[in-house]
Amino acid sequence: MTSLPNSIRLAMAAEGTSATDEFLWLEELQGKAAQAWVKQENQRTTASFAQGEGFQQLEKQVLDILNKDSQIPWVAKRGDYYYNFWQDQTNPRGLWRRTTLQEYRKAKPAWETVLDIDALGKAEGKDWVFHGSEPLPPEYRYCLVELSPDGGDATEIREFDLVSKAFVNNGFALPVAKSQASWIDKDTLFVATDFGAGSMTQSGYARIAKRWRRGTPLSAAQTLYEAQPQDMAVFAYHDHTPGFERNYVGRSLDFYRRETFVLTAEDRQIKIDIPADAEFSTHREWLLIKPSSDWVVGGARYPSGSLLAAHFDDYLAGKRELTVLFTPTAQAALSGYSGTRDHLILSIMDNVVNRLEVLTPQGKSWQRRPLGKPGAISTISAGGIDDETNDYFLTIGGFLQPTSLYLGDLDGGEAELLKQGPQDFDAGGYQVSQHFAASRDGTRVPYFQILAKGTKLDGSNPTLLYGYGGFEVSLLPGYMGSKAPAWLERGGVYVVANIRGGGEYGPAWHQAALKQNRHRAYEDFAAVAQDLIARKVTSSQHLGARGGSNGGLLVGNMLTLYPQLFGCIVCEVPLLDMQRYTQLSAGASWIAEYGDPAKAEEWAYIKTFSPYHNIKADVPYPPVLFYTATSDDRVNPSHARKMAARMQQMGYQQAYFYENTEGGHSAAADKKQAAFHSALVSEFMWATLSGKSPG
């Protein structure tokens, strides 16, 4: 057990503790006792896994990959320019820069710096983290820039002039908060922010949407719509598509349900009458609807996960003429779609390997054709570049295949290869395969496996099993990149599990593991672990589980429910205390996923997957590393703090903890911090799974 110094004990006594939860003091993020404990644990963890020559070499190797000049500089078109945000060793916080398409085609484009985030931070005495921008079309001169003081979700918003490349004097500005701001026109914004007492929801997001006119104080902004305190958030935005401009306001009732209204010129609200759990968007004159539950309307039944199109104005007028653009099957699900001026691009997953289709409206029907040529186990994606053309960007990549970026025109011609990502490791010695495990209830659960060719399946291979399993998030094949030196090149096997709770087979795959059925996600992950052991890819002492955020809750449950299956656990920015999660940071916004612990009947099942409450003394738990960030204002770092402290109090000396200060929910504000994170996790897992000491 790690003992607490007297200074921490005295600070705890001064701050007070709770009889029901003796580690509540760790929820005081900047509390003297909590910070002393974090410092102590960081020192212990770095002394154990981040001191040797091997760690330093690996950290440098990962950082060199992350800082490569040959990485694809991803761009977004704004008017005549293509904008990119770039971080490297010289510019750790990054350069926001731009170029022309003609220059971008070159191997080494000439870039024009728009905003130097490192220089800005130095001038203002703050370590700003760039969180993006929203430009105002069609001129694309003015934009709203978001800057986080620590990498968390709360940002400061300032108006920026892309011609003078400077912040606008007396322009629109909002102080640090979890805000939404978007353009209506040059002199008007939609704004939802912390307006003072009662203006935020229980989830910590803005509750009131207002119209703010240039030259007036924020206090004079006109209220347009108010969500309820128990709702997740309010929203308001303007569709700038020429000829189809519309204003919208509404509320997110929870993570999956929302109500949306069209706002007329007289500020009258017209509700878009679709199921609350249906996703919707617009494409010029079309209303696009993706129901998350089976939907009966107009005498027809549309299955969960379909994509439907209706004429927007006709639908608002009461007509219910819907055209089916996509129908899911047992194996195929729609993972997303994007529009160009005249077309839609659908991304369809078939057993977690995707393909693309182009849909074009022709009167009341839609023509369809394939787009691109995906590989066997790869990810192909495409999206429209702007609303004014039919140009699109297309990317293709896989676990062993660096991403390729193409530029194409849906009106004809072959797509042009613009950029090729660097080959960060020699992929010729590895192979990728897809397998299926049978979960406890018989469900087939897919997973991807990456290992060196010729690997002996004798149960001795250190294996990293990664998963997420929540919020309808799909884990698709993506280039290993810096993960290769951190794992594959050390001799490890890398596995990605596509468990229920994700979106790999559409909404039903997600909904199968909600609330009282959460255990299915954990049974799926355990089934993959058992299959890897049965196939002799690895054995329990050589198998490690890694996950972050909701995936941190997943591996936290592997620790408490299936400790016999794993040799170690890496639990990052996790949820773990499921009794108090709704009271911490943005936790209340996830009640639709997990349930409400304030309701006795729901706490009855939630407590079965609350690792903080299920850890027990005298159980042979595997070594565990908890990794979080002080600035994470989405998943509160106290989850990881309290879990590590409770385990240590029970005598588990192999419960390690590390807390980065910056980075928010990503736990890294720049690439140097990301490289440290990667190397620390690798050293911990390799030391515990291979039996070899770190360094």
Reported as a single tens digit per residue, the pLDDT across 89-134 is 999 999 999 999 999 999 999 999 999 999 999 999 999 999 999 9
> What is the predicted pLDDT for the residue at 1?
36
Give pLDDT, residue 273: 97
Range of the domain at 342: 335-423
Q: Tell whether 577 and 483 lie within a shared domain.
A: yes
Residue at which a domain ends, from 379, 402, 423: 423
Please tell me whether residues 360 and 387 are part of one structural domain: yes
Percent of the chain with pLDDT over 90: 93
C-alpha count within 13 angstroms, C-beta hemisphere, residue 66: 28
- What average pLDDT does this structure show over 290-302? 95
pLDDT number for residue 18? 39
pTM exceeds 0.85: yes
Q: Map 624-684 to HEC letters.
A: EEEEEECCCCCCCCHHHHHHHHHHHHCCCCCEEEEEECCCHHHCCCCHHHHHHHHHHHHHH
Place of tokens 């943005």: 586
At 691 the pLDDT is 77
**Residue at a domain's end among 118, 146, 177:** 177
Count of H helices and E strands in the chain? Answer: 15, 39
- Residues 406 and 434 both lie in one domain: no
Instruction: Tell me: pLDDT of 15 over 80.
Output: no
Is residue 215 in some structural domain?
A: no
Across the range 433-459, mean pLDDT stands at: 98
Same domain for 44 and 83?
no
Q: Could you read off the pLDDT of 563-614 as tens digits, one per residue? A: 999 999 999 999 999 999 999 999 999 999 999 999 999 999 999 999 999 9
Q: Is residue 206 part of a domain?
A: no
Same domain, 650 and 503: yes
CATH code of 523's domain: 3.40.50.1820
The per-residue pLDDT for range 625-650, each reduced to its tens digit, is 999 999 999 999 999 999 999 999 99
Helix (H) or strand (E) holding 281: strand 279-283
Euclidean distance between CA atoms 476 and 498, whole angstroms: 9
- Asked whether residue 10 is assigned to any structural domain, the reply reads no
Give the C-alpha separation, 49 to 679, whole Å: 9
Active-site annotation, residues: 549, 665
Q: Is the pLDDT of residue 12 over 50?
A: no
- Domain check: are 99 and 151 in the same one? yes
The pLDDT of residue 527? 98
- Rounded mean pLDDT of the chain? 95
**Domain end residue (candidates: 177, 211, 240):** 177
| pLDDT tens digits for range 357-408 | 999 999 878 999 999 887 778 999 999 999 899 999 999 999 999 999 999 9
**pLDDT value at residue 694:** 58
How many domains, in total, are found in the chain?
3
The three-state DSSP-derived secondary structure of 121-148 is HHHHCCCCEEEEEEECCCCCCEEEEEEE
pLDDT of amino acid 20: 79
What is the arithmetic mean of pLDDT over 148-160? 96
